Chains A and B, each alone.
Chain A
Amino acid sequence: MPSLARLRRRLVEHRTPYLLLLPSVAYLLSFTIYPILNVFYLSVTDLHLVKSLVPHFIGFGNYRDLIWNDPDFRRILGNTFIWTFGSTTLQFVLGLTTSLILNARLPWRGFWRGVMLVPWVTPIIVVGIIWRWIYDGSYGLLNYYLTVVGLLNRYVVWLGEDAMVWPALLLASLWKGYPYMCLMLLAGLQTIPEEIYEAADVDGASGFWRIWYITLPLLRPVATIVTLVALVLTWNNFQMIWVLTEGGPAYATSVLATYVFTKGFVFFQLGSGSAVAALSILVVLVLCVIYGRMLRVEEREP
């Protein structure tokens, strides 16, 4: 076949890069691509960690059960949006503010930039230890300080009350996640040439207006991409919620990401858990297409 011959010629012609990349590509195919496809297959089976170790095809039953028969699913879906947009918005606002501060001329600027990243490198379990203690109902720092300034007249079990658990979770997520956002935005800010500001100085623009009319519009492409990435990473973020609340109380802070784990490894329903994962991936795919498009636009611009 002519196409086969052409393929062979191509392989021979480019053999050096192909050989160099072979182990990496083989790995990525089996541990990144295959699992994504596999989860879609498992989602239409009855795979169960105890009852059915061999998957049998059962059609769309898992999806049907989730959407029509699962009383918690709707709430979990809603939570996923609160979590994703709440976290990302907060992280963006603080990340942007901090990046503007750390981009200004400051003594010890490099040092502050390093310190800012500490929460980002802290292992998630340690983040859990720190914030569980801050939110503790009897000895927690938050209760103490809020009472001292008079904002609170009783001690609250922050991670145990339906009304308090979301603000608590989002604050901890802000602490852990804003440095990444700030880091990316800071990189974006550094690509804005100094001369633009000098021109603005001549025109008499200063301070706030300089940021509003020059910095922010020029930062917009970077900010959009970073926000999109953060949305997806938060959407998939199981660890932050798990170390603080394990999705509780009841399902109050469960999102799709934690529900995959609850279904699969707490209730052993791997098939049903895969259906949750597959639904979650579909949303991520949509966001990825947008991301891919934007990268291409970015490439064309200069």
Chain B
Amino acid sequence: MKRLLIILFLLSVNSYAVDTRQLSDPKQQESYEILTKELRCLVCQNQTIADSNAELAADLRRQVYEMLEQGKSREEIVQFMTDRYGDFVLYKPAFAGKTTLLWIAPVIFLLMGLITVFFFIRRKNASANSKAQAGSLQIDQDKQKKIRNLLEKGDAS
């Protein structure tokens, strides 16, 4: 029973929209699977056309299938889609033009964070050091005063 459940669980990981299309050429079939996972369903926006059961997703899958059958390359199909729906249709937008910022933004933010942390730690260290120095001096002077007082008073009792 347990084993069966585990098997069922593992099977459920690969759940896609019902799609019985099968291309005769295994290479084309592979392209089909890759492409449908790279193209966004524009109605549901956070699903690929392989995941989605929306009608538009089904139409786009049909389009991909037919173009592969006609012998179109993956690049040609991606071009076909971006010509019609813009870069947004791609889950992995090309590194060019408007999308450059999108690609380099994470690096910029990481650098900004690292620089901030660097200066923060350096300042903290510097202030901690100076405080420690000032503190130790202060304590010493206090202690010295106390010692001197005690010495001056002598043993009163």
Asked if A pairs with B, the answer is: no
